[in-house]
Amino acid sequence: MNKFFLLFFVLFDITVLLSVPVSVSAIQLSPTFLEYEMAKGTSMSQTVHLKNDSSSRITVAPSLYAVVSQDERGFPELASLPVDASLRAWIGLADSKGISLAPGQEKDIPVTVSIPKTAKAGGQYAVVTWNTKGAGGPVGLSLSPGVNIAITVPGAVEHKASVAQFSRQQQSWFGLSLPLVFVAKVRNDGGVHFYPEGTIEIKNIFGSVVARVPVLAQKDSSLVSVFQKHPNGSILPGSTRELYGTWDGAFAFGPYTATLALDTQEAGRLMANQSFFITAPVLSYVGYALASLCIVLLLRFFLTLIDVVRMKK
């Protein structure tokens, strides 16, 4: 019996230990976001501060990845750069063979950016990660500290954005109760990123504005914070982002329209098609009342029918 309890407590302790969250990265760094507008033929240098936050000596090496696009939540799609890639030539990393840091040791690492005279106008995006030596790779990006780099080369750059979708999460005309959540999918078809911000204006049947709802990006703590200078993050070229607006309140009744007004900086101001809907929280109660009335009438009908049959007998 004692052996049974001993085995039980050992297994319990192991389960508890496995369930405790463990820090996946022993490195702290700052800053985590670098954004520059740099003319052709210019260069700059930025210092990145690394600190070994673990209790043992570690060796880390920098890795450079191109950010190709984002998914609708903002998670980056990365691409390993070949040795002769232009972006690799633009960004210079010191101590590329590895950096050894004792517990608590800090070190400043220079990162240089040089724009060639032959560079194309537009945006270039990269992530520099510091991984434990020999354990790099885009798959492990979320386990490694990284510096996000956004470079804009001025010139003849196309700025183009559009609203791919604007609707409510509940697709029927009737929104039975507040809050109502609106979803806007915004696409960047230009050559440089932008930071979206705007509002959803809600009007009643008389044309009066009853609410202005801010447009916000979905918050997801599991995502790597890539290009998040703005609270809504950025929309990279070739990417579509989901933005949300929530109309909250105590009560609303009647027909309404919702109009999205979104500012995309150089890409201009986007206006979405109006969305017509009816909020009628009382409809659910009316439905229950009608259903109850129908049941009562049916019972009365059957009771009357039974009485008629008995009378005939």
**pLDDT, greater one: 218 or 118:** 118
- Residue of 63 and 140 predicted with greater confidence: 63
| Residue 269: per-residue pLDDT | 80
Highest mean pLDDT among 10-19, 72-81, 256-265 belongs to 256-265
Q: Give the pLDDT score at 77.
A: 83
Cβ neighbours of residue 306 under 8 Å, at least 6 residues apart? Answer: none
How many CA atoms, within 13 angstroms, populate the side-chain half-sphere of residue 183? 14
- pLDDT value at residue 104: 92
Least confident of 1-15, 94-108, 207-221: 1-15
What percent of the chain has pLDDT above 90? 23
In this prediction, residue 176 has a pLDDT band, given cuts at 50, 70 and 90, of low
Q: Mean pLDDT score of the chain, rounded to an integer?
A: 76
Question: 82: which residues sit within 8 A by CB, 6+ positions away?
Answer: 88
- Among 35-44, 94-103, 289-298, where is mean pLDDT lowest? 289-298
Model confidence pLDDT, tens digit, residues 135-170:
444 444 444 568 888 999 999 988 999 999 998 876
For the chain, list the strands marked E by DSSP. Answer: 27-30, 33-37, 43-52, 58-70, 76-80, 91-93, 99-101, 106-114, 122-132, 146-153, 161-168, 174-175, 180-188, 197-204, 209-214, 216-217, 240-247, 254-263, 269-271, 275-279
Hey, which of 121-135, 194-208, 249-263 has the most confident mean pLDDT? 194-208
Residue range 291-300, pLDDT digits in tens: 666 777 777 7
Residue 132 pLDDT greater than 80, yes or no? no
Please check whether the two domains, 24-153 and 161-280, share a CATH topology: yes
Residue 82 burial by Cβ neighbours in a 10 Å radius (0-12, 13-18, 19+): exposed
CATH topology of domain 161-280: Immunoglobulin-like (2.60.40)
Least Cα distance to 113 among 152, 58, 60, 162 occurs for 152
Q: What is the pLDDT of residue 186?
A: 92
Opening angle at CA 250, ends 246 and 252, nearest 5: 80
- Judge contact between 57 and 100, C-beta under 8 A: yes
pLDDT bucket at 172, cuts 50 / 70 / 90: low
Q: Is 231 in a helix, a strand, or coil?
A: coil
- Which whole number is the average pLDDT over 247-260? 81
The residue ranking higher by pLDDT, 273 or 112, is 112
Q: Of 208 and 89, which is predicted with more confidence?
A: 208
Question: What's the CATH fold of domain 24-153?
Answer: Immunoglobulin-like (2.60.40)
Sequence ranges of the domains in the chain: 24-153, 161-280, 289-313
Weakest mean pLDDT among 15-24, 113-122, 267-276: 15-24
